[in-house]
Each structure stands twice: as structure tokens, then as C-alpha cells.
Amino acid sequence: MCNSKAILLKVHKWNCLSGRDEAWEIITSKGFAWSKRPLSSTMEKSWMLWTFVKRWLLALASWSWSLCRICLLPLIVTFHLYGGIILLILIFVSIAGILYKFQDVLLYFPEQPPSSRLYVPMPTGIPHENIFIKTKDGVLLNLILLRYTGDNAAYSPTIIYFHGNAGNIGHRLPNALLMLVNLKVNLILVDYRGYGKSEGEASEEGLYLDSEAVLDYVMTRSDLDKTKIFLFGRSLGGAVAIHLASENSHRISAIVVENTFLSIPYMASTLFSFFPMRYLPLWCYKNKFLSYRKISQCRMPSLFISGLSDQLIPPVMMKQLYELSPARTKRLAIFPDGTHNDTWQCQGYFTALEQFIKEVIKSHSPEEMAKTSSNVTII
């Protein structure tokens, strides 16, 4: 028997009968095999598991590379043929995404002029109330009620005043006080969420909830005539007023809108004429304010006030809203010198409002309600 030290080798053998690999230990001495035995079951299982993992990884890598080669070729061909179109589409989608994300910044300006969120001017020397109410979603809103105290004050109409997209209700006091004196009405000025002393952040749905909360509050006041509720909205406030009227025709006596728009998509295509905004689908717009649709639900008497010198909202939009209105009694008052924010300073402005309010109150009689009338007045 040889005294040389035995060498232990592990070899691999394919068993044709079992259809699997078999591992063996072969002990050799000076290159001659004289003994062999199978590996232990634990070692065999570990080796088989590792073999399976390697084969699976290699197959996965091979399949992935084949798939990449298959997909890459049509991508290269497509980009070569339509690269310019694809680039335009990507630019279009990118701009649409940016506009969607920053629409609130482009539409709502509660901090202009500066300190508008910190200081709200209050009326002096006239009866008024500084009111806070809560909306259905728990947002605290600030209102100012200006009271008319002259003759027959108990029967005076009440105007709910929705302002534009900047500043606060205090900045509208000069306009509101002239309404109070000239029209002999009560006025409720509304600061939307995110404006003035109101809480929250402005949004389309939020502004709709705010308007509903104000109307609900007015209906709880026993000292206000609930049969003479008028809505007034300027610019963005016009869209809010139209929405509220479309949802509450049984509670609203009449609506007055001034220098407002058809919708935000229409305004976007006007302001950004260098970019094909008109082709953006509606879902690209975070704020829509689709007044041109909602006006069809406003059948109460309606007054449309248009300043032809408006440099922000095209005056033609006011004319289109007037034409879309299904109201039996509707008026379009045109002021050639009226600008976007200062049409109320034009001569004859309060006369047009006064005549409309008197006509609406008179039309509450059954004989007058059956009549249909519309006219355009250039002042």
C-alpha cells in the first residue's frame, strides 16, 4: 500500500439514467484512482441551487438584452423619421404641466397690493358689521355688511359683492359705499379663502364653497329681505356669481356681472396667444370657471356691464355671455371708456344699476314676470 498522501478531488459526472448531475469524491494516489464515494446530500443540494441561480441569471440577462435590441431599433427609426414632431409634443406636454402646477400663482393675487393679507380697511361713520363665518369644509371667511338705514330700510335689496382676483374687501369700499348711497341697498362684501382675513388657500372649488356659505348665511338673517337677493361679481367675482346663481336660481332675484370672462381656458388662449393654448384639453386646467356653460342655468334677470376699454378681459366675452344668457329679462350696459377695474367710475354707471334693480323688483308681480325683454344700452 502506497504511503503517499492521498489527494481528494471533486468531480462532476452526468448520470444518463437519472438525468441529473452527480458529484463524486475521488481519492487518488500518484494519479491513480483507488476509491470513490458520492458527496453528502447537503453539499449536493447547495451546489445544485447555485447552478440553478446562475442559469436563471444568465437567461434573464440574455432575454433582457434581446428585448432591448428589439425595442431600440424601432425607437431609433421613429425618432429619425418623426424626431421634430416628438420634440414638439414633449415641449407642449412640459409647458402644459408647468402651467397646471402654477395656475394658482397665475390666477390668484391675494397679496397684491402688498400687505393685503395683513390689513383690511374698514368703513367709518356708517353702520356696518365685521362678520366671520365658516364654510362647509371648515374655512373661516371674513365678510363686511354695510347696512342701509334710510326710508323703508327693512325692504331694501341686499347685494352680495364678489370682488376680483387681487386685494381684499377693504379695497372695494369706495365702490361699495357709492352703491349703498345711490342704490339704497345693503351690501355684503366677501373675502374668498386666502384673501384678506379669511383663512385657507384660494381654489376654484374653494371659492364655490365660499359663495354657498355666504348665501346660506344671508338666508339666516331675519333683518334682510330674502326675496330681494342680488349677486354682483366683477372679473373673477363674475365667474363666482354665475356659478352661485346657476346652483341657486330659486334663492336669487337677479345677477349683475361686470368685465368677466367666458372661462379660464378662453382667457389662457387670449393671454398666451404665442402658444396654442386653445388645443389644450380641459383636464390640463386646474381652474376652469366655465361661465359660458353655467350661464345657461341662470334664468333670473341678468345685467351685463362691459367696459370697452378693458385691456385685460376682451369686452367681446361680456357680449357673448349676454347672448348665451337664457334670462327673460337681460340687459347689456356698455361703457366705451370703462376699464377693467374702474368702469364703476364712468358717468351713468349707477343709473344703469338703479334702473335694473327697480325693474327687477317691479317684475316680481305676476303680470311683469310673464314678459320677456332684452336690450343693449351704450352709455
Query: Same domain, yes or no, for 83 and 204?
Result: no
- Reply yes or no on whether 235 is catalytic: yes
| Cα 123 to Cα 219: distance, rounded to the nearest angstrom | 24
Where are the strands (E) in the chain, listed by range?
Answer: 7-15, 20-29, 32-38, 128-134, 140-146, 158-162, 186-191, 229-234, 254-258, 302-307, 329-335, 373-378
Strand pairing of 186-191 and 158-162? parallel
Instruction: Considering only CA atoms, give the Rg of the chain.
Output: 38
Query: Same domain, yes or no, for 158 and 84?
Result: no
Q: Is residue 239 part of a domain?
A: yes
Of the three residues 74, 101, 128, the one that is the final residue of a domain is: 101
Query: Same domain, yes or no, for 14 and 150?
Result: no
Q: Give the domain CATH number at 274.
A: 3.40.50.1820
Query: Same domain, yes or no, for 165 and 223?
Result: yes
Measured over the CA atoms of residue 370, residue 322, residue 352 and residue 230, the dihedral's sign is positive
Nearest CA to 355 among 367, 366, 363? 363
At residue 279, the pLDDT reads: 66
Strand pairing of 20-29 and 7-15? antiparallel
Q: Is residue 1 part of a domain?
A: no
Q: Is residue 24 part of a domain?
A: yes
Q: Are 277 and 265 in contact (CB under 8 A)?
A: yes
Q: How many domains does the chain have?
A: 3
At residue 52, the pLDDT reads: 65
- Reply yes or no on whether 12 is catalytic: no
Q: Is residue 268 part of a domain?
A: yes
Q: Which of 104, 216, 225, 340 is catalytic?
A: 340
Query: Same domain, yes or no, for 96 and 182?
Result: no
Q: How many residues comprise the chain?
A: 379
At residue 240, the pLDDT reads: 99
- 130 bridge partner residues: 144
Q: Is residue 126 part of a domain?
A: yes
- Reply yes or no on whether 310 is catalytic: yes
Cα 10–Cα 11–Cα 12 angle in degrees, nearest 5: 135
At residue 222, the pLDDT reads: 94
Query: Same domain, yes or no, for 300 and 157?
Result: yes
Q: Is residue 327 part of a domain?
A: yes
Q: Is residue 351 part of a domain?
A: yes
Q: Which of 203, 235, 253, 306 is catalytic?
A: 235
Query: Same domain, yes or no, for 215 and 351?
Result: yes
Nearest CA to 325 among 278, 262, 370? 262
**How does pLDDT run along the chain (379 residues), one tens digit per residue?**
444 444 444 444 444 434 444 444 444 444 444 444 454 556 665 666 677 677 777 777 777 766 666 666 666 666 666 666 766 676 667 766 777 777 888 899 999 999 999 999 999 999 999 999 999 999 999 999 999 998 889 899 999 999 999 999 999 999 999 999 999 999 999 999 999 999 999 999 999 999 999 999 999 999 999 999 999 999 999 999 999 999 999 999 999 999 999 999 999 888 777 666 666 667 778 899 999 999 999 999 999 999 999 999 999 999 999 999 999 999 999 999 999 999 999 999 999 999 999 999 988 654 454 466 677 777 7
Q: Which of 128, 310, 325, 363 is catalytic?
A: 310
Query: Same domain, yes or no, for 165 and 221?
Result: yes
Domain of residue 367, residue span: 108-378
Q: Is residue 137 part of a domain?
A: yes
